[in-house]
Chain A
């Protein structure tokens, strides 16, 4: 699939932001006043900023409000609801923390649950697409959730639980890669089932047009897959390995910041691959994948 920068930024940053908001909702850290303000500001900048970035790839962003209408069937619509609900509930909770030195804990728990639901909805948008076998696995939501938990813990300064969460997220990431590498072959969809032609070996002889088209640009993005192995290594080292190492050292804010920055870089690389490596079955019609 085409790795659109706006979607890569959105899913990476908003995942991190909703992870942080979830930890803040759980009272970890339970700070108040200016410190709480800083934490909530970062959470809102990432989660809200990510949501805004996601509208950049829309053909008609002026109609974006219509995306709230189809929550009964569409995970994208559900994501619109869960994300705005999270931001609204966590906003109320933040007012208590920042201005009244109060801990309205039920609101916090509700906000944390909604944040987790938002990340789950984001993941399900991809998971529900059967035409992309690489994404069509329960490991995809598990990957998004563990990643948001690890990144959120890291941003919330929860040093003791961030390291094991990062390790768990890394394990799920590796599992997802291992599982997804043969996903297209295991899906059973081939050029033969796509065309229904039997009795021999089917080969794409001639494409329908001499130039390229929307389908090839959007679904058959081959260029980005070239450096798959190196990008995977980079993602593992920067996204998970280095932050864990930095967390194991005696904690300072500078090391914490460095851990967050390398984590984001690593996850951006992994998210690039998540899209660039995802083969859509329509590529088979063009003799590509």
Chain B
């Protein structure tokens, strides 16, 4: 049934550090690779080498520019986005076939592809754009939190985490149980003030984002700097004559 579970034993999810992410897209590639070669329908690309390439991805990295209110240089923030495995997942309840479901044991939101009729309503219901209909297989694809890795006893222990987390060279992605307040990810969220995306949508996302730290404000530390200020603000000599002469031409002085 597509009714949501009232509680889940664990809340497995990701914590994404916007302060650390360098926007290299390695998580995008490893996600596409793992999820094309393993569980479920492969993530298709259409016209991959043509004029209008398009593909299915479960994880995409946006980049945003934040212009501070206080002035100063704009900050660039790389922003990976995948399914947030919401506690109040709107994509699950709209599914007419029961293909979409949220697992009671760990809270992962999954699609049973053999039950999916490809109506696309779940993708409409998701405010985050976390679900994409595969253009070739015509079934809904979404992040599985690498459910076929994290419980996979054929993999060595360090590989039993989502492909995006395993591959991130900057250590900007963390995986764990957010229901357990003593877990590493929960402590990270508490320490860094992790936030929900679009809290007003009422989805109660499990995945958390750690906001970028404010940039350092460097005070003037060079004691000689005041002596090196430019002293002349009006041109003199030849340049001054040239300036005045050009101003004297018709249309010169404004």
- The binding surface of chain B is classed by DSSP as loop
Residue of A nearest to B137 (CB): A59
In the complex, which residues of chain B have a beta carbon less than 8 angstroms from the beta carbon of A128?
A: 94, 125
Are A131 and B77 in contact, CB atoms less than 8 angstroms apart? no
Complex Cα distance, B47 from A213, in Å, reads 12
Number of A positions contacting B (CB below 8 A): 60
Residues of A within 8 A of B (CB): 1, 57-61, 63-64, 66-70, 72-77, 80, 125, 128-132, 187-189, 191, 193-215, 218-219, 280-282, 285-286
Give the shortest distance, in Å, between B76 (CB) and chain A (any CB). 6
Are B96 and A202 in contact, CB atoms less than 8 angstroms apart? no
Are B96 and A60 in contact, CB atoms less than 8 angstroms apart? no
Give the shortest distance, in Å, between B205 (CB) and chain A (any CB). 11
Complex Cα distance, B65 from A210, in Å, reads 18
Number of B positions contacting A (CB below 8 A): 71
Which of A69, A72, A195, A209 meets B64, CB within 8 Å? A195
Are A214 and B94 in contact, CB atoms less than 8 angstroms apart? no
Are B117 and A59 in contact, CB atoms less than 8 angstroms apart? yes
Residue of B nearest to A208 (CB): B60
Are A199 and B199 in contact, CB atoms less than 8 angstroms apart? no
Are A131 and B125 in contact, CB atoms less than 8 angstroms apart? yes
Give the shortest distance, in Å, between B244 (CB) and chain A (any CB). 42
In the complex, which residues of chain A have a beta carbon less than 8 angstroms from the beta carbon of B115?
A: 63, 66
Known A130-B202, A282-B127; judge A202-B65 contact (CB<8 A).
yes
Are B62 and A125 in contact, CB atoms less than 8 angstroms apart? no
Query: B104-143, CB under 8 A of A: which get 1 and which 0?
Result: 0000000000011111110111111100110101110000
In the complex, which residues of chain A have a beta carbon less than 8 angstroms from the beta carbon of B77?
A: 195, 197
Are A80 and B201 in contact, CB atoms less than 8 angstroms apart? no
Complex Cα distance, B154 from A189, in Å, reads 43
In the complex, which residues of chain B have a beta carbon less than 8 angstroms from the beta carbon of A67?
A: 96-97, 117, 119
- In residues 54-80 of chain B, which contact A (Cβ within 8 Å)? 54-57, 60-70, 74-77, 79
Is B8's CB within 8 Å of the partner chain A? no
Complex Cα distance, B79 from A129, in Å, reads 25
Are B79 and A195 in contact, CB atoms less than 8 angstroms apart? yes
